[in-house]
Amino acid sequence: MTIFKGKVWKFGDNINTDLMMPGSQFLQPGISEKEAARHCMSANRPGWAEQVEEGDIVIAGHNWGCGSSRPAARMFKALGIGIIVADSMSRLFFRNAVNIGFPVLICPGCSEAFNEGDQANVNMETGEVENLTTNIALQGEALPSDSPPAQIFRAGGLKKLFQKELAEKKV
């Protein structure tokens, strides 16, 4: 799926992965991703995780996902977030998301164009971002369709691609 429509949650600049996946939580081996996701943003926005509904969209400012390489995209997947769109994004977060087939899009100017609670429509393939509440349209940076990250995302993530390559080798 590459088109997402949903209610917007707004976050600011420099939202780091320590906030998304607090160290004291994610380092408890055996904790399920759904359990760990309950602590997402608990330091800066306590209670947010409980309010998220399936298909909601995150719109953020600059440098989303900066900091540690911990696999924070899994938290948003577990919460049911449809896609994350940000003015700019840590390349680590970007890659981690693409590699698990979790939708992300870089769209400079998006955080200016949305308020929390607006309805957004995002096409990850074309990069088109629309604020359905205010009728503002923006152009994000879609991945070139023949690029490795686009191929990985289309395959459903790196694990699926790897297993496909493994199966093809055995045949």
Partner 1 sequence: MGMTMAEKVLAEHSGKKEVNAGQYVWAHIDGTALLGGSHRRLEEYGVEKLFNPDRVYAVEDHLAPPPTVGAANTMVEMRRAVKKFGIKNFFEYGRHGILHEIFPQYGYVSPGDLIVSVDSHTTSYGCFNAASCPINEEAAYVLAKGRLWFRVPPSIKFVLTGEYPGPEKFVVGKDIILRIAAEYGTEVGLYKSVEFEGPVVHQMSIDSRFTIANMGVEIGAKFAIFPCDDKTLKYLEGKMKRPPRPVSADPDAVYETVYHLNVTDMPPYIARPHDPSNGVPVTKVEAEKIKVDQAFIGSCTNGRMEDFRMAAKILKGRKVHPDVRLIVSPASQLIWQDCLKEGLWDIFAEAEALITHSTCGPCFGGHLGLLGDGEVSISSTNRNFQGRQGSPKAFVYLANPATVAASAIEGYITDPREFL
Give the interface with partner 1 as residue ranges (CB under 8 A).
14, 16, 18-19, 22-24, 27-30, 42-44, 62-63, 66-71, 73, 88, 90-92, 95-96, 99-100, 144, 147-149, 158-159, 162-163, 166
Nearer to partner 1, 115 or 147 (CB): 147
Nearer to partner 1, 7 or 154 (CB): 154
Contact between residue 3 and residue 121 where contact means Cβ atoms under 8 Å apart: yes
* Distance, CA of 33 to CA of 72 (rounded, Å): 10
Nearer to partner 1, 7 or 62 (CB): 62
Least distance CB 6 / partner 1 (angstroms)? 24
Least distance CB 82 / partner 1 (angstroms)? 19
Q: Nearest CA to 127 among 151, 107, 157?
A: 107
As a residue count, the chain comes to 171
Q: Would you tell me the crossing angle of helices 148-155 and 158-170 to the nearest 10 degrees?
A: 80
Least distance CB 1 / partner 1 (angstroms)? 20
Q: Which two tokens stand for residue 50?
A: 């409980």
Nearer to partner 1, 24 or 135 (CB): 24
Please list, in sequence order, all residues whose beta carbon lies within 8 angstroms of the beta carbon of residue 79, skipping any fewer than 6 positions away: 37, 40, 49, 52
Least distance CB 113 / partner 1 (angstroms)? 20
**DSSP character for 79?**
H
Nearer to partner 1, 63 or 111 (CB): 63
Instruction: Count how many Cα atoms sit within 13 Å of the Cα of residue 45 in the half-sphere of its side chain.
Output: 18
Least distance CB 61 / partner 1 (angstroms)? 11
27: helix, strand or coil = coil
